DNA sequence: GTTGAAACTCACGGTCC
DNA sequence: GGACCGTGAGTTTCAAC
């Protein structure tokens, strides 16, 4: 029970699609005034539902054209080995995301490389030398599509 | 060969962490004026490196506390079966990201659910009934950490 | 809950060094 | 490249309904 009405959901959908829209414009789209729209946006921010704004950086435009997803299974699991692995993996600059997961693997990593041979270097020198690394599985990304997600499932 | 200097990289790092910072504020942080900082930001936008602004929506605050990563292998692969699968999977509201990948799986999905039993419903009713689905592997996310990525690897 | 209007800040452009 | 200075637009707050 988040206490959100249809207007709040409509505002969230608009902002999720394009964060540059102004409060006045959003208000017009959902049928309320600029001030009312702004207050709702502030409330969404204060409630933690809107958890910040980020720019989208095009890694390919920066010369990093290869994205690889890596499933990592640790050889030995323990409290210390998880901490140790996380500390070491977050220090690798090519690692963009670290996800601690449950299932066949213990961690999922999103890795950015300039090209495939650059990725091989990262895998051999950086990843395979991490403390406690066991089985590793790689998937090279061809394309990615983001969808509205839960905002589409609500209302 | 992007023609970026240290100041551009510093601006990118600041914006990647928090897109609400103003040009004047950023300029102060990197040692240039408001107008110069703004001109650099516009250039980064025009060159495609800054590819948009997004709000971060906290799914847990919306009542969707479970995130699952799903590797999907298609039973039969062909141009039509890829198109057909993508069309069907993007229509599922709980699917937040669709990644076409190369490797053990053909697709990686990021799925948002209210809880584990909600995820089971999505898996049985929505995912397993998709056209051409073969092997499926799930990983439940415990925690996620985003890192600077390539911005940390440059300069 | 709403509107309307202040005051302030910012984005954006022009101009000159 | 850089700083400096306008202008119009957007944000944020406040008073009133």
Reported as a single tens digit per residue, the pLDDT across A24-34 is 999 999 999 99
Query: What are the pLDDT digits (tens) for A34-60?
Result: 999 999 999 999 999 999 999 999 999
Q: In sequence order, what are the residues at sequence separation of 6 or more whose Cβ sits closer than 8 angstroms to the Cβ of residue A7?
A: A30, A31, A32, A40
Residue-level pLDDT at A77:
82
Answer yes or no: is pLDDT of A119 > 80: yes
pLDDT at residue A155, as a whole number = 73
Chain A residues inside the 8 Å CB shell of B149: 57, 59, 93-97, 112
Tell me the pLDDT of chain B averaged across its residues: 94
Helices (H), A74-126: 79-89, 116-121
The whole-number pLDDT of residue A51 equals 94
Question: With bands split at pLDDT 50, 70 and 90, how would you rate the model's confidence at B2?
Answer: low
Q: Which pLDDT value is given to residue A85?
A: 97
Q: What is the pLDDT of residue A152?
A: 83
Whole-model pTM?
A: 0.93
Query: CA of B113 vs C1' of C7, distance in Å?
Result: 45
Residue A80 pLDDT: 83
Closest Cβ–Cβ partner in A1, A16, A102 for B139: A102
Give the DSSP H or E segment for A113: strand A107-113
Residue of chain A whose alpha carbon sits nearest to that of B112: A150
The helix, strand and coil proportions of chain A, stated in percent and rounded to the nearest 5, come to: 40, 30, 30
Is the distance between the Cβ of A22 and the closest atom of strand D smaller than 7 Å? Answer: yes
Option in B49, B54, B97 nearest A62 (CB): B49
Percent of chain A with pLDDT over 70: 99
Residue B45 CA to residue A142 CA, distance in Å, equals 24
Decide: helix, strand or coil at residue A20: coil
Q: Cβ–Cβ of B105/A139 closer than 8 Å? A: yes
Per-residue confidence (pLDDT) for residue B64, from 0 to 100: 96
In this complex, the answer to whether residue B129 has its CB under 7 A from any atom of chain C, a nucleic strand, is: no
Distance B70 CA to C8 C1' (A): 49
Is the pLDDT score of A2 beyond 80?
A: no
For residue range B72-101, list pLDDT tens digits in order: 999 988 888 999 999 999 999 999 999 999
Say what the pLDDT of residue B1 is.
Answer: 53
- Chain B interface, best mutation among A4, A8, A54, A83, by max B CB count within 10 A: A54
Q: Which residue has the higher pLDDT, A155 or B42?
A: B42
Determine whether the distance from the CB of A23 to the nearest atom of strand D is below 7 Å.
yes
Q: Tell me the mean pLDDT in the region A114-140.
A: 97
């Amino acid at each position: 029970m988040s206490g959100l009405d249809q207007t709040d959901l409509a505002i969230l959908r608009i902002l999720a699609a394009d964060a540059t829209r102004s409060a006045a414009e959003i208000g017009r789209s959902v049928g309320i005034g600029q001030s009312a729209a702004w207050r709702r946006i502030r409330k969404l921010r204060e409630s933690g539902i809107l958890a910040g704004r980020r720019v989208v950086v095009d890694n390919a435009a920066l010369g990093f054209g290869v994205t690889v997803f890596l499933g990592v299974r640790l050889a030995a699991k323990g409290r210390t080995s998880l901490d140790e692995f996380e500390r070491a993996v977050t220090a690798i600059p090519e690692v963009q995301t670290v996800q601690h997961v449950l299932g066949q693997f213990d961690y999922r990593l999103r890795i950015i490389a300039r090209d495939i041979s650059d990725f091989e270097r990262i895998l051999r020198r950086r990843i395979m030398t991490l403390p406690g690394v066991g089985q590793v599985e790689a998937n090279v990304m061809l394309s990615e599509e983001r969808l509205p997600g839960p905002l589409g499932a609500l209302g």
